[in-house]
Chain A
């Protein structure tokens, strides 16, 4: 009884502060820069209670951009496994969605949804910060649903 109450309270708290992890898996840096720009005062993603963190073990929402290169693929899989459930994966940009302009490159193992289940897709090369904000809001809703 007490245990459930504690867990309920914890879940309530968790819902209000999801942590993000951002990983570039072999894009051109464009999406990374726009994801970083979302942190700045004009867009300010942190007003939704989220924090950008680097440790996958503390993460709730994975923001992944870039067509997945062969060298980073094992690391990406490990990061996905290290992230605790429930988790939401967001594919940011054309490269993560469909390999984009690098579709016939020899060193690309993507797209992302071939490697892990993806929940939210944000299209664009690169997507505008407003689009990223909307995608992250969708991911937050999904994550709350997954929690229940």
Chain B
């Protein structure tokens, strides 16, 4: 389409408050009829200034701040932060702490993936599947509650180790719940792969070609669904991922269904890792934590992990006090949302917008840092839930 025609497009703002996701963000969708010509992503409604806050608080307080970057990935943020600070000091944590951290991270991946299945089904209009997956997600949260006493912010990691032990007398109960989740995972694999309605709404939709993945630095399950074998757990192993036998799930199609299937098969891999960790746990030494200094000499360090949504990166500089000089956080959602939404949505139907956006599993609380594009002036209309749902149902 020529430049002149683009200006004539109908601009439809989606958000900031809208039924697609609970979090506030704004998409300026340029429409030609029902076809999406261009999308301006306008985020920043969740920006709280955490990196600046971290420079004003000490290393211990920052653990809890890192935990509150995102409520879904709270475990991985604390673990990555603690690893980064341990790299600054040059500290090796006890073996048991490594296993417990792995258990927490994989449980978090499980609950995040089940949440994703529910959201996907909800966007497709399948409320029953949404209810099923969210009911099963409670089983994961039960295990997390058994270990840490919390459902969302676990407060497990500390600089130098972990704060609580896994109660060994409850491990059989946990294994039983994991068996249940495995069974349910197989059921969802069948439902999402073979259901006619889901296939119609997801096959060939939101295509991300393999060659664009590197160009736009897409990470995590979205990249893996496009045939790129990238997983920090295998590439740069941390914690105990190199001691356990597991596989990276890759699919070649690059559409919405591929993204769902990658996550479904990752559930089985996570359960495999969890079972191996829980089995190894009773034979390990009981030390949970080593002492870490409060004041850290001038140094710099990085830490990379695989969050449920992709690669998470922390960079820290210390200056000889008890507060960091600078902390930089690069979250997977930010690259995925900012870089891929434009490519994925171009040329698609408006009614498919919620499904495509949900398929990259956006999480705005960790990605909101600056406003990317100013809201353009133009003809406006606010979309309500009824309108979007009607569009979806019509399709």
Which positions in A face B, CB cutoff 8 Å?
22-37, 39-42, 53-56, 66-67, 69, 71-72, 75, 79, 100-102, 104-108, 125-126, 128
Residues of B within 8 A of A75 (CB): 16-17, 24, 45
- Give the CA-CA distance A104 to B55 in the complex, in Å: 12
Residues of B within 8 A of A30 (CB): 68, 71-72, 74, 152-153
B135 interface contact, C-beta 8 A: yes
Which positions in B face A, CB cutoff 8 Å?
16-19, 22-24, 44-50, 52-53, 56, 64-65, 67-72, 74, 115, 131, 134-135, 137-138, 141, 151-153, 363, 365, 371, 384-386
Residues of B within 8 A of A67 (CB): 48
CB distance from A34 to the nearest CB of B (A): 6
Residues of B within 8 A of A66 (CB): 46
CB distance from A45 to the nearest CB of B (A): 12
- Give the CA-CA distance A33 to B152 in the complex, in Å: 8
Q: Which of A27, A56, A79 has the most CB of B within 10 A?
A: A27
- Give the CA-CA distance A130 to B316 in the complex, in Å: 39
Residues of B within 8 A of A72 (CB): 16, 24, 45-46
Residues of B within 8 A of A31 (CB): 71
Residues of B within 8 A of A53 (CB): 19, 385
CB–CB B45/A107 < 8 A = no
Partner pick for A71 among B47, B152, B385, CB 8 A cutoff: B47
Residues of B within 8 A of A37 (CB): 134, 137-138, 141
B72 to chain A: closest residue by CB: A29
* Contact (A29, B70) CB under 8 Å given A22-B22, A54-B385, A126-B153: yes
Listed by A's residue number, 26 A-B pairs whose Cβ atoms lie within 8 Å are A22-B22, A23-B24, A24-B365, A26-B45, A27-B365, A28-B68, A28-B153, A29-B23, A29-B365, A33-B115, A40-B135, A41-B134, A54-B17, A54-B385, A56-B17, A66-B46, A67-B48, A69-B48, A71-B45, A72-B46, A101-B65, A102-B53, A104-B53, A108-B49, A126-B153, A128-B151
CB distance from A111 to the nearest CB of B (A): 14
- Give the CA-CA distance A66 to B365 in the complex, in Å: 11
CB distance from A138 to the nearest CB of B (A): 21
Partner pick for B22 among A26, A32, A41, CB 8 A cutoff: A32
* Contact (A54, B18) CB under 8 Å given A27-B71, A33-B71, A40-B134: yes
CB distance from A40 to the nearest CB of B (A): 4
- Give the CA-CA distance A136 to B96 in the complex, in Å: 42
Residues of B within 8 A of A22 (CB): 22
Given A28-B74, A29-B22, A35-B22, 17 additional A-B pairs, CB 8 A: A23-B17, A24-B23, A24-B46, A28-B67, A30-B152, A31-B71, A33-B72, A37-B138, A40-B137, A41-B134, A42-B135, A54-B384, A102-B53, A107-B47, A107-B48, A107-B49, A125-B153
Residues of A within 8 A of B45 (CB): 26, 69, 71-72, 75
CB distance from B25 to the nearest CB of A (A): 10
CB distance from B180 to the nearest CB of A (A): 14
